[in-house]
Amino acid sequence: MIIAGNWKMFRGPDPYALQELDAVVCPPYTRLRDCVDAGLATYAQNVHWEPEGPYTGEISPPMLLELGVAGSLVGHSERRQYFGETDDTVAKRARAALDAGLRVIACVGETRGERERGETEEVLRRQLSVLEPHPSLVLAYEPVWAIGTGLTATPEMAEEAHEFIKSILDLPVLYGGSVKPDNAAGLLAQSAVDGALVGGASLDVDSFTAICQAAARIPS
Ligand code: PEP
């Protein structure tokens, strides 16, 4: 069971207050060093495919490794929605990071319109088609309509999507989308849900701790 906290472009909590948790944190770049120093499993929120070069605003796998960072998110829907991330660039980022020895959490998920039009499986199939199985690759199912909205997939909806994803790529799949202390146990109890990617609730030490504790209570 993996619980990962995505701090997005927020400064986030004191990493030392999270030291006892069995969790991954994805802070903004400026806090990577603090999180590594606190002994946390630390992932970046994005990573470029080249080791270095004229790519202003990007960061490369060797640069993250030099800091002691263990992995990176790729393909978060906010990257796809606001920064032109495509399936192709997600694939390049994932492959380069994995080849360099980083772990990767690759995010997939449909928008509200795509779900309403019955296109969820088609979208997931397309997003997954560019990824290949790898021992250090984990997927995150993050329905875009549930991210930061307070709406969440029901445990049954999450289970159905995760089973579909695993039928294409048999890898651990985290659920993400408004996971909170009061809905975490129900989502994490689903057999195809292998953990959670938590945004807003990971910014608060108490709520993130409560989610990690809910995960620890799920029999493995
Ligand atoms: C996320 O940013 O990956 C996320 C799931 O956010 P939230 O938990 O706030 O919906």
Rounded Cα–Cα distance for residues 139 and 169 (Å): 9
Ligand 1 pocket test target in 10, 141, 179 with most atoms within 8 Å of CB: 179
Residue 111, token pair as written in the block = 């928008």
pLDDT tens, position by position, 107-118: 999 999 999 999
* Residue 109 · residue 77 · CB < 8 Å: yes
* Mean pLDDT for the chain overall: 97
User: Is 142 designated active site?
Assistant: yes
The stretch 6-14 carries a mean pLDDT of 98
pLDDT tens, position by position, 136-175: 999 999 999 999 888 889 999 999 999 999 999 999 999 9
How many whole angstroms from 42 Cα to the centroid of ligand 1?
17
Q: Which residues partner with 184 through β-bridges?
A: none
138 lines ligand 1 (CB under 6 A): no
pLDDT at residue number 148? 84
**Angle (CA) 103 90 175, round 5°:** 65
202 lines ligand 1 (CB under 6 A): no
* Residue 138 · residue 174 · CB < 8 Å: yes
pLDDT at residue number 219? 86
What is the number of the ligand 1 atom nearest to the C-alpha of 147?
10
How many whole angstroms from 142 Cα to the centroid of ligand 1?
8
Residue 214's pLDDT band (cuts 50, 70, 90)? very high
pLDDT tens, position by position, 21-61: 999 999 999 999 999 999 999 999 999 999 999 999 999 99
How many whole angstroms from 179 Cα to the centroid of ligand 1?
7
User: 0.75 exceeded by the pTM?
Assistant: yes
pLDDT at residue number 174? 98
pLDDT tens, position by position, 58-77: 999 999 999 999 999 999 99
The stretch 164-192 carries a mean pLDDT of 97
- Protein residue whose Cα sits closest to atom 8 of ligand 1: 199
Rounded Cα–Cα distance for residues 100 and 11 (Å): 27
